[in-house]
Amino acid sequence: MLRAAFPGSFDPPTLGHINIIQRAARIFDELVVIVAENPNKNYLFTAAERISAMQALVDGQKNVRVALCTGLIVDFLEQQRIPLLLRGVRGEGDFAYEFEISMMNKALNRSIETVFMTTDPEYTVIRSSAIKEVASFGGDVSAMVPPLVSEALKRKFAARQIDKTDTSC
Ligand code: ADP
């Protein structure tokens, strides 16, 4: 039984993430998508919102489940007896960053192996941070995220606009 975990912020989930999940689910017997909650990061969506979006997106994929991790990813993998940590790579920039993280994780836990999966070409430029920025200006991101995420972004930024109006009164 080959089990792997795919951790990330997923703030929000994109078609790039879904592509990695679908391809990995064909390779591994079980894939655990870990929604990470790091108190040092500022998220647009709460952990509960990111988990419920991800659960809806993987619904129907029998060997994929979603979990929350509020601590170190390698500790979570050790507890769950998952030996493989999967990360997606869009290009050289990602690889440099991911390589460093994988070395840090190796220093923390020698038994967990990081494996990289390259993105499919059409998802190279898709990243959550850029999507949030475009959506915050009312830009159309529907080609980059699943419809439920596109709607959630619209609601989130509409609510923020109302908040701003309230505070400026
Ligand atoms: P983090 O906040 O942990 O960097 P993200 O939520 O941005 O995580 O991404 C989670 C994982 O998905 C990372 O390994 C990231 O490189 C990968 N990823 C993000 N976008 C894409 C994409 N378009 N194609 C392939 N992998 C991606």
Segment 141-165, tens digit of pLDDT: 999 999 999 999 999 998 877 666 6
Residue 76, pLDDT > 80, answer: yes
Mean of pLDDT values over 35-55 = 97
Q: What is the mean pLDDT of the chain?
A: 95
Q: Single out the catalytic residue among 9, 50, 87, 128.
A: 128
Mean of pLDDT values over 84-91 = 97
Annotated catalytic residue 26: no
The residue whose C-alpha atom lies closest to atom 23 belonging to ligand 1 is 16
Q: Could you tell me if 32 and 5 are in contact, meaning their C-beta atoms sit under 8 angstroms apart?
A: yes
Question: What pLDDT does residue 160 have?
Answer: 76
Q: Could you tell me if 31 and 63 are in contact, meaning their C-beta atoms sit under 8 angstroms apart?
A: yes
Burial class (CB in 10 A: 0-12, 13-18, 19+), 2: exposed
Question: What pLDDT does residue 169 have?
Answer: 47
Residue 34, pLDDT > 70, answer: yes
Q: Which domains does the chain have, with CATH numbers?
A: 3-121 (3.40.50.620)
pTM: 0.93
